[in-house]
Chain A
Amino acid sequence: MSQGDGIPLHIDPTLAPRYRLIQLEPGLLELLESPKEAAHLQLKSAGPDAPAFLCGYSRTFQLRQISQSNTLLLLSSASSSETTDTVPDEVTLDPLYVTKLPGGYLECIPSTPQIDLSFVPYYHGAELKEAKHSDVDLMLSRLDVTARVPVSEFEFQSAWISAMGVEIGGYAYRLSDDLVLRIVPTLMAAIQADGINFDTLRLTEVFEAIRKDEDEPAAVIEAILRRFSTCRSEPYCLDTAQLTQWLGIKMLSEHAFREIKLEDFMEKWELSLPPVLDSTCDLSMLRGQYVQPTLNTIKYLPSARLPLDPASRFERLFASKSSWLLEDMLPFLNDIEKEKVKINTLLMKFAKKKVVKGKTYIGKRGV
């Protein structure tokens, strides 16, 4: 093999700024090759210095710059300027154009982002809407809100439904808890009074049934129906367990972080349930939201508000209660369990296990 048989390589400085390399790990390649995902592809970032995310329809990947000392050259059979003047006459092969790719390549890591919609204002009801609109500059449409949250469309939609997001008059809001607590009993009573099946709820029928008693727009009613439904689109099927759980959390959060009598709380929770609901209040529905300092008391302790750092998380948990049953503690650890750090590893590092009469108790280390 001699040099004379070789393909001439020419460095084309104009190619470099146009190209970057991205590592296509199997999950990302699958996403790119899926027509449904590909139709929603977008690069998003919360700000110029914030991490960038590649968002498809249902999945999100975080982009990370990987540096490497090796030289990467990209070969192209055509120059950006398409010049052929530099090729000597005696060379019969057309040259290949190469460019040095600076700065390594981009890596994509599957991401399960925490979606923060706290910047979306609350909607407190038609009567209070005008009074609460003091800061008009912060008013955004739903599309603006979507663009501000670097996640896939499906993940955003799930968070939007969960937060009971609505667009009223072109502006995006979250329904306030007070409004939902006021509307839910009226809504349930109206549905029952009109003989509508709770398993096949259509917005037009439900809105017609409730408009006699409520002035709120249809978007508000739909946001509530979607939030407490087993499906995302019509016909909605009421999920009584979800509604019961939501009411339980709201009743508990009213006594934010104060210890109250379990009996009083259960009574209050049961009273909050609309009479038409055939559901029972069970404390297991609120796992990860409370702690029982004693057998007869309960305290609001949402896992979402605890520190993400495992050491601080355990510290907070043991400050609330010195000894936990394993099954009571697990819901507080799920979100800090990483791919390679299993719950057992966390327990061994930050706590100690003790088995008494077949039950596993978790206590503080060194006590």
Chain B
Amino acid sequence: MPSATFAFNVCPATDESSYFPRVLRTPTGLALIEIQGTLHTAQPSSDSTPSELGKLTLDGKTAWLWIGDHQRMEGSIVDLNPPFGVLRRVTRKQSEMEEENGSPDGTAVEIVEVIRKKILFTSRPEPIVNRKMT
């Protein structure tokens, strides 16, 4: 029967400096954005190279997502009730698993973060006048 060990490995919150306002901060720096709609992005040029999506600005509970030079969406920081856990699949070497708990199965899943707020974008993108970045 398929089975996997499951762990809750959420670190305690820290006060480290972050881009995010205090309400959004999480120990691992993971945060959630929800966009009411579909986001079409260009295929990345190579298989694993990050490609630029846009820019995010935050001011109190308000957020703006800038896509390219011509579009902007306004969103807000809202509560997630119930919160979401971020699951990560960890495939460890068999020898490591056997050392730890004698399980020959190498699959483990862990919750690495609990996210209690999200940045929600519900409005349509609005056109903006092109401006050179400062």
Is this pair of chains taken from one and the same complex?
Answer: yes
Interface pairs A-B: 7 shortest CB-CB = A6-B55, A77-B29, A4-B134, A10-B50, A41-B6, A73-B33, A6-B57
Contacts of B89 in A (CB 8 A): 18, 20
B23: interface (CB < 8 Å): no
User: What is B's interface to A at a CB cutoff of 8 Å?
Assistant: 1-8, 18-19, 28-39, 41, 44, 47-59, 64-66, 69, 72, 82-89, 109, 111, 114, 131, 133-134
Contact B32 A75 (CB under 8 A): yes
A180: interface (CB < 8 Å): no
Contacts of A105 in B (CB 8 A): 84
Chain A facing B: main interface SS? mixed
Please name the residue on chain A nearest to B2 by beta carbon: A45
B84 to chain A, nearest CB (A): 5
Q: What is the interface size of chain A, counting residues whose CB is below 8 A from a CB of the partner?
A: 62
* Given known A26-B82, A71-B39, contact A42–B53 (CB-CB < 8 A): no
A/B interface sample: 24 pairs, CB < 8 A? A1-B57, A2-B134, A3-B69, A9-B55, A11-B44, A12-B50, A13-B44, A14-B48, A19-B87, A20-B86, A22-B84, A23-B85, A26-B82, A33-B8, A41-B8, A43-B3, A70-B35, A73-B34, A74-B86, A81-B48, A83-B50, A95-B50, A98-B53, A105-B84
Contacts of B83 in A (CB 8 A): 23-24, 29
A48: interface (CB < 8 Å): yes
A345 to chain B, nearest CB (A): 28
Contacts of B131 in A (CB 8 A): 2-3
Chain B facing A: main interface SS? strand
Centre residue among B19, B30, B41, B50 by max chain A CB count within 10 A: B50
User: What is A's interface to B at a CB cutoff of 8 Å?
Assistant: 1-14, 18-26, 29, 32-33, 38, 41-48, 54, 69-79, 81, 83, 86, 90, 93, 95-98, 100, 105-106, 147-148, 150
Contacts of B4 in A (CB 8 A): 42-43
Q: Which of B1, B5, B82, B133 contacts A4 (CB 8 A)?
A: B133
Contact B82 A78 (CB under 8 A): no
Please name the residue on chain B nearest to A5 by beta carbon: B57
Contact A21 B86 (CB under 8 A): yes
Please name the residue on chain A nearest to B42 by beta carbon: A11
Complex CA–CA separation, A19 to B5 (angstroms): 16
Complex CA–CA separation, A25 to B84 (angstroms): 9
B76 to chain A, nearest CB (A): 14
